[in-house]
Structure formats: structure tokens, C-alpha cells
Structure 1
Amino acid sequence: MEPFVLGTKYDKIAQWWHDQHVESSYGVNQFQRAVKFARCGGKALDVGCGSGGRFIRILESNGFSVTGLDVSKEMIKLASVKHPEHNFFHADICSWETKEKFDLIVAWDSIFHLPLVMQKPVVTKLCQLLAEGGILIYTFGNAEGEHTDQWHDDTFYYSSIGINENLQVLINNGLSVLHLELDQYPENHVYTIATKP
């Protein structure tokens, strides 16, 4: 599924999503684990930032300036209103370009929506966007493959290159893996934290 097609699906549920997640604790403990490894007060990139909620609050409280990307223009509108002091872009990480380097990058439950053929290139891009000493946290499925699920009367696409291939991409790009966990077992949800030494 093309990213901006996905964006139109999230456009339809943007306000509902915001209301459900604005005070959610989902992923917070995992994200705080990553932040503890990071140099506070730097630049952070949130890929698939949604309407800007719990993760951005954590980043703010640790002194980060935030750049947020999302393929849903409605999500970006909500995030921009809620956090006017940060920079938000209606953009696809597959094609988005910047000369900036980031001290922390998070892609929580976002890049697993990308086409399977874009998984390695995008993880590679995230590695390249890290500053030295930077921290990357992202989620993916534990097994290689792609599938669709029905949710909110619509079809959503998911893909993954699996645990071993994700680790190999990180290692090939010079990162060291600090943590990996199937945090919702028996669900196939994995998150990993890595650093660029």
C-alpha cells in the first residue's frame, strides 16, 4: 500500500485516534527506556507522529526540539495546533529528505505500514539520519512477510522483514543494538533500541 493511500485512511479517523491516544500510556515505558539512553536537549524525529501526544510530551520534558512526519494530513493538522513550537510535515519517510541529523529517532507503529520492498531502505535511512551517539527506537513484526487487517471498516496493510533482517540492517549501518523485545507477546510486535556509536 502506498504511504499516502494509508494517510487517507488515517485522515478518516484522525480525531478519534487523537481522543483515544492523547492520554494513552501505550508504548510509554518502552519509549522512556530509549530516552534514558539519549542525550537530552537535542533534536528528535518522530516518524508517524500522528496527532502529537504522549511521545512528544516526553520529548519536550527532556528538552528535545521535535520534527514530526506523518502521511495523514489531518493528523499533522492536529499535531501542529497542539504543538506549534515544533515542526510537523505531511510527508512520506520513503521520499522525505533533510540535511539534519537527529539525536533521537522514533518510529513507533508506523513504518510497519510501508511496502515490504521499502523496509530495508527506510530502516537504512533512519540509521543515516542519526547523529553520532544518537538513539533509534522503532517497531516491527517478528516474522518476515506482509498481510492486511480490517480495522474501522477499512483495510490496513502491514509488512516486516523480521527480526534477523532488521538486526542485520542496523549492524550493517554501524549501529549497536541496546535492546530488543517482543513486548506484546504472544502478539508479533517487536521494538528495538539501537545507537550509533
Structure 2
Amino acid sequence: MTTLPSPDDILETYDAQAQDYARQRNRILFEKPMLDRLLGAAPRNQSPRRLLDLGCGPGAPLATYLADRGMAITGVDGAATMVDLFAQTLPQATALHADMRTLTLGQTFDAILAWDSFFHLSPDDQRAMFAVFAAHAAPKAALMFTTGHAAGEAYGHAAGAPVYHASLDPQDYRDLLTEHGFKVIEYRPEDPNCDFHTIWLARFTG
């Protein structure tokens, strides 16, 4: 009998697959229009503007694109090998080996990004993440994250290894954002212009 992956397997899987993942990662940057939306929404509280990249992976191409546009990047990943790759890719950035679910950096950021990372968490852990987002959000900070388009669990692959995904109902995400002081700017379910990703962009109103 095949054992399905669970959210508890994610960090170990990405740690083991990091090198292959980095080699196979799509570099076309189909995410560019949404990254530009994030850049446009992020306030200029400080110069350079600060970005917290949760589940940063190897740092290319997303963090590299944002760093090239003047953002000071702090990359966080629970997979140690991913953090090492991130530090090699972006030596000028801050690279932290930490679990996003328990993150307490004691500082705030002008933008927070959780692209193709947050949706590996269990539904309960996803709900708890909104307090983490809020704790690290500077005034009017932009928050962008990807989810599924409907409530449920699914299974995919990372460099050939099976991985777990989960999503809440879109209304649950709206309610959680409102509860934690965020206002939805944009919601794009299964955007055909972004490889059918479901994307949220919100602003922290605190």
C-alpha cells in the first residue's frame, strides 16, 4: 500500500530534494506580473524596502528578481539545504533556517511573500500563520501568498518526490485576513496568466 505524504514530511522532503529542485525549478518567471504587483503594493517605510520570503527555497528566480529591484531580502526556510542554496544564490541577503509556523523575528517587513510554500501546511497550521504574518508586517505591508482554489487536500511532487498540499475555502482566507488586520487587494483563482496559480495579495491595515 502506498503511503500518502503528510505535512509533517515537507521539510525532510525538501531538504533531501533541494539540489534537484533547484536544478529543475522553472526559470521562465511566469510569476513576474504578480511580483510586480507586490512591488507596487509594498510601502516605502524604509529604504531599501524589506521583504520576508517565507519558504524561500533556493532563492531563484523569485527572490533574485525582487533583490534586483532593490528589495532587502530575508529568506526563511525550514529545510537546511534550501537555506544553504539561498545563501549561495543571494549572498547579500539574510538567510535563516527556521520553521515559518513558529517564526518570531522581532522585526517587521514592508512585504511578505509565501509563494508555493504556505499551501504545504495543514489547514490548522495555515490558520495559525495569519498571526505570524501580522506580527511581521510593517504599516501598510503587502502580503502575497498562494493557495488552492477550494477547500481540500491534494498531492503533488517536488523534484519527483511526493508532497502534501492543502487549502481552506476562499471565504476562510478572507475572514482570516480581516481578523488579523489585512485588506484583500486582489484574489486570482487559478490565474491562467500565472500557470494557474491561485494568488492572494493583501495590505496590512493593522
Same topology, TM > 0.5:
yes
Check conservation: 2:104, 2:132, Cα contact below 8 A. no
Deviation at 1:127, TM superposition (A): 2.5
1:154 counterpart (139, 146, 161): 161
The answer to whether the 8 Å contact 2:17/2:161 transfers is no
Amino acid at match of 2:124: V
Deviation of 1:61 (Å) = 2.6
Say if 1:141 and 1:188, in contact at 8 Å, map to a contact too: no
User: Which residue does the alignment assign to 1:126?
Assistant: 133
Moved more, 132-141 or 7-16: 7-16
Q: Is the 8 A contact 1:127 1:136 kept in 2?
A: no
Question: Which runs of no fewer than 5 residues in structure 2 stay unpaired?
Answer: 1-5
Is 2:176 the counterpart of 1:172?
no
Tell me which residue corresponds to 1:111. Answer: 118
Pair 1:157–1:22, CA change in 2 (3 A):
closer
1:126 & 1:52 partners in 2: Cα distance? 20
Matched, 1:192 2:200: yes
Q: Sort the Cα spacing of 1:14 and 1:101 in 2 relative to 1 into closer, same or farther, 3 A.
A: same
Offset, 1:101: 0.6
Q: Which residue of 1 aligns with 2:12?
A: 8
Partner of 2:71: 64
- Following superposition, the deviation at residue 152 of structure 1 comes to 4.7
CA deviations on 1:117-151 (whole Å, 9 max, x unpaired) are: 11111123213311111100000011112233355
Moved over 4 A (4+): 150-153
Give the AA of the match of 1:127.
A
Runs of at least 5 residues in structure 1 that lack an aligned partner in the other structure: none
TM-score scaled by structure 1? Answer: 0.89
Q: Deviations over 1:95-121 (max 9, x none)?
A: 121110110000001010011211111
Matched, 1:35 2:39: yes
CA shift, 1:188, in A, is 7.2
Alignment partners' CA distance in 1, 2:16 and 2:117:
17
Q: Distance in 2 between matches of 1:115 and 1:141?
A: 12
